[in-house]
Chains A and B, each alone.
Chain A
């Protein structure tokens, strides 16, 4: 009889146990400063004084603090994502879960901004007297649409890239890679599964396609050795909190014919600078996000020189997708200057002139260029 009664009241015990356990754990568990999965710093305990309490700042921030430091935070975030998945969202937090373990960010189109950027790039091309090449990389969701869940928002990458190309000035030599990428989606893995970026294979395909308008001879695929890096969990993975998805491999492609000590990478961020003799920054592989293994991630100016290459100087105006393709382009250009307009706010044509550049390549992913507001800094 007693057991029966106790069982009847069990929900109370569960509830009490649960809320008290959490409270005690909050007080006793050590707090992390950084969340590797979210790639951000967790909030610090709010400032406590009469002023912050009276204006309510302390109270507001405490809630964020508790949310950031709840015991089992990643587990709960994962359960939350699973709930969204179960409810019919086909993914979670703006990421679709496709077949074969593919994660796709939802389409992030903004035609208006894209065409505005086309205007800036055209104006820039008109203002310089060297050739300006351009390509826009379609999103993984569009190219791998066969892997997308049945119900999803529409990826219009082909139409957008076409109308972007049509809007550009004739001075810009635009290479549309969409059709070639679309033809290869099943035979080659052009994009990572857990990240929005393209793989080395994807970048190599683009390197081959650009060779025709840009007039260089691409190094044959057979001439590369591939070093495989395991357990890469990309940003789509972190965003989605779908923890059960398998990791990717990163391939680092090196030209076997490349003489030793021919490569120098010089990274400049404002007044700081550092140099390296490899395209690949393997120390970044120990971090949570391994993609910066390619040319050390985003910096305002990165200069890549290759004594063994025949061509002259190339300026690359870019987003992070370029970090994978520049090692290939570096086989053909003795000096490549990568400019990231998100950090470099001075005139790009001045660099072209000073460096006596032979050409400019503007390389962005469609999603990034749709959102980017920095193209006005080109000239």
Chain B
């Protein structure tokens, strides 16, 4: 089930809220756990079993490690077994086909049968969550969770189940057992949820239409159209993904949870290093915490640090999808981050801010080209088109299309910056603020519902991860 659907908004959500709030406090996790399973099973009726297995394995591992900590070798063996199962499940369901195909290219004589399995929705997200728990229990930074319902609720919590943010167990352990829902928090949640919903429905979907039109226009788009197209995709992916995170955070608040921020205006960054501190923060944190630092981080000299950066970014790329372009995209950022670490970052601080912005924008916009095209041939011809292989001019029809999206492109640009928020903060009168908030809420609900009704164009980009 996706949040930006009538089914979710006007059926699942009211029923879930009603059930949750009529349940006595003691049993609220159980209610949540049950609706989470329904939510997941809605789209993946059979694969919910896989998630339950993952919950059972990590719950058991946590208990054993927690109880038998003093038997170091045994605890370590259980820990390693749990990690292997986690990575094994993710590897099998997400990467089996990819690994098979790649091996067949490298070693054709092996003739490995390529397994095709349907990718279980959200597996990349919930596997990383369960691993954060097991690793932290092993490192003894969090207490084991004895209650399987509480643990199951953590893993399957529907707001962030499908597309993040990746909530570390450490961050919500306290809230899982002891949370106090309040009307103030609920109201905040409604606002954040509606902001996310509007980002997704009112901007991301439209940007997606423009990108599709220009990309499918092929040679007709010329270099100009190709650049406008990839800019539209740049906006689409940000508003889609950050919109989803906002919706998750907002829904979390409605049930008394506070999740960490996942996006912090990444497109205003002045360096790639800064960009990755602002984009998909929960994923970056995860890799830093569980891969980069354990590998030694920056504490073992520059050479080792560069290798560590390479490993982290190879994995970050691979995490996004079982395809070479994601690895390429990850390594692209790994290399750029290394270059910035060695000298560029110091240089960027000296030059005028505008140039630093332009440099960063070009880097991430071009990065989205690598991210979008899974087919290397298509990627190649699109890159050539960006540099004029099909001429520079755009066809009259596509020009008309681009012109018709100018108001939305401009709003997307403005809403990618903190400017609207700053303007909002300028409203000092409580009455004006109240009027503004309520009108904005009513408008957002009305227009989003209208767009959902009037168009079936509603795919979520982050489903495939």
Give residues in A with beta carbon < 8 Å to B: 4, 7-12, 14-16, 18-20, 22-23, 26, 53-56, 59, 62-63, 66-67, 70, 73, 76-81, 83, 87-90, 92-93, 107, 151-154, 241
Contacts and interface: CB of A to CB of B under 8 A. Distances in A.
Interface stretch (B10-18, B125-133, B315-323): B10-18
B401 interface: yes
A33 to B, nearest CB: 18
B454 A12 contact: no
Nearest to B449: A76
B408 A26 contact: no
Given A59-B43, A66-B10, A70-B10, A79 B447 contact: yes
B6 A79 contact: no
B11 A80 contact: no
A15 B454 contact: no
A59 B206 contact: no
Nearest to A24: B14
Interface string B206-237: 10000000000000000000000000000000
Interface string B418-449: 00000000000010001001100110011101
A59 B406 CA distance: 37
Given A10-B434, A12-B186, A88 B450 contact: no
Contact of A7 (B10, B434, B442): B434
B454 A241 contact: yes
Interface in B128-178: none
Nearest to B15: A23
B48 to A, nearest CB: 11
Given A10-B437, A19-B9, A67-B6, 16 more contacts: A14-B438, A15-B441, A16-B14, A19-B13, A19-B14, A56-B43, A59-B43, A66-B10, A70-B449, A77-B454, A79-B454, A80-B451, A81-B454, A88-B403, A93-B454, A154-B400
A241 B451 CA distance: 12
Contacts of B434: 7-8, 10
A19 B453 CA distance: 15
A12 B396 CA distance: 47
B11 A18 contact: no
A154 B398 CA distance: 10
B191 A11 contact: yes
A83 B447 contact: yes
Contacts of A152: 400
Contacts of A4: 430
Contacts of A107: 397
Interface residues of chain B: helix, strand, loop or mixed (majority): helix
Interface string B260-274: 000000000000000
Contacts of A7: 434
B14 A20 contact: yes
A76 B456 CA distance: 13
A56 B1 CA distance: 11
The 10 A-B residue pairs with the shortest CB-CB distance in the complex, in nearest-first order: A80-B454, A79-B450, A80-B450, A22-B10, A76-B453, A88-B407, A76-B450, A153-B397, A11-B441, A12-B187
Contacts of A76: 446, 449-450, 453-454
B348 to A, nearest CB: 36
B46 interface: yes
Interface in B176-195: 183-184, 186-187, 190-191, 194
A364 to B, nearest CB: 23
B400 A63 contact: no
A22 B446 CA distance: 12
Nearest to B184: A9
The main secondary structure of chain A at its interface with chain B is helix
Contact of A55 (B45, B191, B441, B451): B45
B453 A83 contact: no
A63 B447 contact: no
Interface string B1-38: 10001110111011101100000000000000000000
B74 interface: no
Contacts of A22: 9-10, 14
B295 interface: no
Interface centre among B13, B15, B450 (most CB of A within 10 A): B450
B442 A14 contact: yes
Interface in B234-278: none
Contacts of B191: 11
B463 interface: no
B355 interface: no
Contacts of B9: 19, 22
Contacts of B441: 11, 14-15
Contacts of B403: 88, 151
A15 B396 CA distance: 44
Nearest to A18: B445
B452 interface: yes
A166 B452 CA distance: 46
Contacts of B14: 16, 19-20, 22-23
A11 B187 contact: yes
25 contacts: A9-B186, A9-B187, A11-B441, A12-B183, A15-B190, A15-B194, A15-B445, A16-B14, A19-B17, A20-B14, A23-B10, A26-B10, A54-B46, A56-B45, A66-B7, A67-B6, A70-B6, A73-B453, A77-B450, A77-B454, A80-B451, A87-B206, A88-B405, A88-B406, A89-B404
A59 B18 CA distance: 21
A26 B15 CA distance: 13
Contact of A79 (B18, B437, B446): B446
B407 A53 contact: no
B11 A16 contact: no
Contacts of B438: 10-11, 14
Nearest to B435: A7
Contact of B453 (A80, A88, A92, A151): A80
Interface centre among B10, B42, B400, B447, by most A CB within 10 Å?
B10
B17 A16 contact: yes
A195 B330 CA distance: 52
A200 to B, nearest CB: 32
A281 to B, nearest CB: 33
A355 to B, nearest CB: 44
Most buried by B among A73, A80, A92, A93: A80
B187 to A, nearest CB: 4
Residue of B6, B43, B45 with most partner-chain A CB within 10 A: B6
Contacts of B445: 14-15, 18
B336 interface: no
Interface string B40-65: 00111110000000000000000000
A90 B10 contact: no
A72 to B, nearest CB: 9
A83 B443 CA distance: 11
B6 A63 contact: yes
Contacts of A63: 5-7
B311 interface: no
B202 interface: yes
Contact of A26 (B11, B18, B42, B184): B11
A154 B399 CA distance: 10
B455 interface: yes
B184 A83 contact: no
A79 B450 CA distance: 6
Contacts of A20: 14, 18
A19 B10 contact: yes
